[in-house]
Amino acid sequence: MRILWDRKEATVRDIQQSLPPGRHYNTILTIVRVLERKSHVTHKQEGRGFLYRAVAPPEKSRTHALAHFVESVFGGSPESIVLKLIETETLTLKDLDAIRRKLRKRAQSKEGSK
């Protein structure tokens, strides 16, 4: 999806060439077709091939994917995913500070809207 967002349109071959070596054409084609079936991607014919493009903007797609991930992997618990990121030291102290600032800002905006 990131490649399609960056390039606006791409063929399966374009996508393959933008990925690290070793990604098979048919595997990428299968993924693109699944994304199209789920309405994340659409295509138009160009010559004998297809040009694919993302349907939804990145933020909407990320929000949807994250909600699905939290539900399917973490039993619907956002707290569990954050705790796992902290436990595995995936989040740096800089990341945690940024999160604290965003939480404070969110709390202040909610208090101001009451």
pLDDT at 102 over 80: yes
Residue range 21-36, pLDDT digits in tens: 999 999 999 999 999 9
Which residue matches tokens 């390039």? 7
The residue among 65 and 14 whose pLDDT is bigger is 14
Q: What pLDDT does residue 14 have? A: 96
pTM value? 0.69
Beta strand ranges found along the chain (DSSP E): 41-46, 49-54
Q: What pLDDT does residue 95 have? A: 92
Cα–Cα distance between 13 and 27 in angstroms, integer? Answer: 11
Of 33, 28, 30, the C-alpha closest to 14 is: 28
Q: What pLDDT does residue 89 have? A: 87
Q: What is the 3-state secondary structure (H, E, C) of 58-88?
A: HHHHHHHHHHHHHHHHHCCCHHHHHHHHHHC
Q: What pLDDT does residue 114 have? A: 65
Residue range 56-99, pLDDT digits in tens: 899 998 998 899 999 999 999 999 998 998 899 888 889 999 99
